[in-house]
Amino acid sequence: MADEPNGGVTRKSLLKAAAIAVPVPLLLGAVARAQAASLEPTPLCDDGDDDTPPQIEGPYFKPSSPQRTSLLDPGMPGTRLTVSGYVFGTGCQPLTGVLLDFWQADNSGAYDMSGYKLRGHQYTGAGGAFTLTTVVPGLYPGRTRHIHVKAQAPNRPVLTTQLYFPGEPRNSTDSLYDARLLMNVRSGSGGREASFDFVLDVPAGPGTPPTSRPPAPGGTWAPNTAYPAGAQVTYGGVTYRCLQGHTSMAGWEPPNVPALWQRV
């Protein structure tokens, strides 16, 4: 999703800060600005300090990947990775039925060009949500760690882009790397968990109001609630402790913002 231009702390800096779990007094103003009703498409956006470079398809894309949400094969080596998020239009409306086609290198940095290992496509469900189960991609010469994706809403142009991992040493040397495409990555049960939201160039239809994310999947956490530091909530069966007093909002659920919430 796009950063807020010319507004102090941008959404990009908020994501980067959340990824390294720094103290967040400066983040609260950005959280409020992130509620703006109109978003720019990802990655065709500008947060006021530089333009977003195009993200190339690269030489390893193959059409006709199998439809699946898990790219894992039995015995596949590597660290398990779950990527989840939402796809929105520029009016903040969640987009259902968006095609997401993922491909990536394996644990050793190699792409499968003879078959469809670590390749697959899926469609967003109700509320624009998606989940991908895979492994952390390996490194190969000239590139930092990344995952390729094509996203296409029905009857709309294809967005081709790449998702990146925070804290990678090669991020500073890869000429294609763009911090706007950083996932929020954290350690999880049995591997790593990442989140990223896409914003496609799909305007809201006439009379369609901006829509927030679906409600939390069970638990005591709720959006638009003032939480003091030290407060405890549950979300998705997990208990979290508030690290910094703030007013919650849809899109900043506890597992997505480690700068604000800590698992207990």
Spans of the chain, pLDDT less than 70: 1-54, 206-218, 250-251, 257-259
Looking at the structure of the chain, the number of domains it has is: 1
- What are the distances in angstroms from CA 244 to CA 158, 194, 200, 259, 263? 39, 22, 32, 8, 14
- What are the distances in angstroms from CA 121 to CA 21, 114, 116, 133, 152? 32, 17, 11, 12, 11
Residue 56 to residue 146: CA distance in whole angstroms: 12
Name the amino acid, one letter, at 222: A
Domain of residue 183, CATH code = 2.60.130.10
Residue 187 structural domain:
37-204
The helix (H) or strand (E) run that includes residue 184 is strand 184-188
Computed from CA positions of residues 85, 91, 96, 101, in that sequence, does the dihedral angle turn out positive or negative?
negative
Q: How far apart, in Å, do the first and last CA atoms of the chain sit?
A: 29
- Residue 233 pLDDT: 92
The dihedrals phi and psi of 254, each to the nearest 5 degrees, come to -50, -45
Strand order in the sheet with 158-164: 119-123, 99-103, 146-152, 158-164
The full DSSP string for 71-114 is ---TT--S-EEEEEEEEE-TTS-B-SS-EEEEE---TTS---SS
86 found inside a domain: yes
Residue 49 to residue 90: CA distance in whole angstroms: 21
Token pair listed for 136: 């952390």
- Residue 175 pLDDT: 94
84 found inside a domain: yes
213 found inside a domain: no
* pTM exceeding the 0.85 threshold for the entire prediction: no
Residue 221 to residue 236: CA distance in whole angstroms: 9
64 found inside a domain: yes
Q: What angle (nearest 5°) sits at the alpha carbon of residue 161, between those of residues 191 and 111?
A: 60
216 found inside a domain: no
- CB-CB neighbours of 113 under 10 Å: 10
- Residue 134 pLDDT: 98
85 found inside a domain: yes
Strand order in the sheet with 238-242: 232-235, 238-242, 261-263
114 found inside a domain: yes
Q: What angle (nearest 5°) sits at the alpha carbon of residue 94, between those of residues 41 and 62?
A: 65
Nearest to 179 by CA among 16, 6, 11, 9: 16
- What are the distances in angstroms from CA 118 to CA 20, 67, 138? 28, 12, 12
- Residue 187 pLDDT: 92
258 found inside a domain: no
